[in-house]
Structure 1
């Protein structure tokens, strides 16, 4: 297993036997017919792209406080895809993201500041895409998570960093991503980290600020203790986010209804042959995008006390 580069100098993790971890994917691997269905599902047509771009430009110009890179049409179109080409919905996503950056900049920190989260293996990507094309991101926030080493802010920042880098991927933009929260062994040591304030930010980042669509959020290996945490989170969730929350306990058959067992590791009831990998490799891969990510994070409202740099 090692970090390698393709012919376009994009890095990827080579896991051997044809398995790879790729964040930058500029084509839809699932084929043209599959891609066409995805575009149809999000209302993507040449006319909607053109009209959406024009309306977002108008809204940003009318606001006057927003910094948006109109020279990079792909950036704006990424958010139009999340908003399914509804300009008002798209602009609300951009505004919500900009507001979070202005108020809670620590959640948009550098990869260097949170790479130990990857080294600990707390946030990782399933090597294979689901059968519907979705990326699967796993967060291990149970007994494996030691809050004295990794804070809740750092854990959420690492997830936000992965999603931010994935916005470069045509595949991820079209098909979205699914979250798996593995809370095996969750205890009060972890529970007390979830204050109402930090939990509200975490949910908002997923619900209203994601640059690619989140399809579902699956919680697995949960027990009675998790009910305490969910009681904190549920009132803070929007109706849309509550509908995306699926709690499975240890029922692997339930998880298999939403994510193909073919791509899941055996410990999650799957049959994938992809090997498990050291989190440090994902940290190395993410570091490649650190400078790019910080440039992208400057788009939005100016931070308080910021000189606009």
Structure 2
């Protein structure tokens, strides 16, 4: 899985390059498109909320930046032993979904996202929960459906406004009252979450040294070694 994760970064550098850091995607978290609950799920996993409707302004937060934000969040989650075991639940809040949101996606982008989730994301995906989806969501889902394998199909749940079934899957004590949960989770601005993620900024300098070395860098290293050897022999 990690091999595929780093191969993806090489193949799609704009999703795995030096700009994929907490600082590079801070505006996404500031806008509250992405957020994590401070509580954990029934399995001890992280709970990620993606507000892909009302909170998402595609003119200010590009779809590519949303995907980069997922990459950042996953790399941070990989550092938590408890999350490595407990996995991640993703809640997709589709309230306020409009045509302007749907038009951001193309079949090729839908395939890219699904392939990454199914083949490359090095975390245990416990479930993807779709809530508050309007009828328009069917148009968006039709783009993704052809690329879904059994792995994702088994983890997809469509709850609509039935938060009771969401609580059964994720945990009543893990969700706030607005989702019929019992967790005392205060509403906090996205900027606070961004501030927390910024503490990992220096870690990403190290993360970006992992993975595959480009052919150009390999050639440069080989040339440097040859030069050092020649100088050493001359001395």
State if a TM-score over 0.5 links the two structures.
yes
TM-score by length of 2: 0.86
* Aligned match for 1:260, one of 146, 171, 176: 171
State whether residues 43 and 87 of structure 2, in contact with CA within 8 Å, keep that contact through their aligned partners in structure 1: no
State the Cα distance separating 1:204 from its structure 2 match. 2.4
Q: Stretches of 4+ moved more than 4 A in 1?
A: none
1:307 is aligned to 2:187: no
- Cα distance in 2 for partners of 1:241, 1:131 equals 20
State the Cα distance separating 1:300 from its structure 2 match. 2.6
State the Cα distance separating 1:306 from its structure 2 match. 5.4
State the Cα distance separating 1:294 from its structure 2 match. 4.1
- Cα distance in 2 for partners of 1:259, 1:208 equals 23
- Cα distance in 1 for partners of 2:44, 2:89 equals 10
- Cα distance in 1 for partners of 2:99, 2:194 equals 28
- Cα distance in 2 for partners of 1:297, 1:254 equals 40
Tell me the residue number matched to 2:107: 196
Whose Rg is larger?
2
State the Cα distance separating 1:193 from its structure 2 match. 0.7
Assess, with a 3 A threshold, how the Cα gap between structure 1 residues 253 and 164 changes in structure 2: closer, same or farther: same
Aligned counterparts, 1:52-201, within 5 A: 93-108=1-16, 109-201=20-112
Q: Which runs of 5+ in 2 are unaligned?
A: 222-235
- Cα distance in 2 for partners of 1:131, 1:239 equals 23
- Cα distance in 2 for partners of 1:306, 1:277 equals 45
State whether residues 126 and 155 of structure 2, in contact with CA within 8 Å, keep that contact through their aligned partners in structure 1: yes
Tell me the residue number matched to 1:223: 134
Assess, with a 3 A threshold, how the Cα gap between structure 1 residues 234 and 297 changes in structure 2: closer, same or farther: farther
Of Structure 1 and Structure 2, the greater helix share is in 2
- Cα distance in 2 for partners of 1:126, 1:274 equals 8
- Cα distance in 1 for partners of 2:165, 2:23 equals 37
State the Cα distance separating 1:164 from its structure 2 match. 0.8
State whether residues 160 and 205 of structure 1, in contact with CA within 8 Å, keep that contact through their aligned partners in structure 2: no
CA RMSD of aligned residues (A): 1.7
Assess, with a 3 A threshold, how the Cα gap between structure 1 residues 306 and 171 changes in structure 2: closer, same or farther: farther
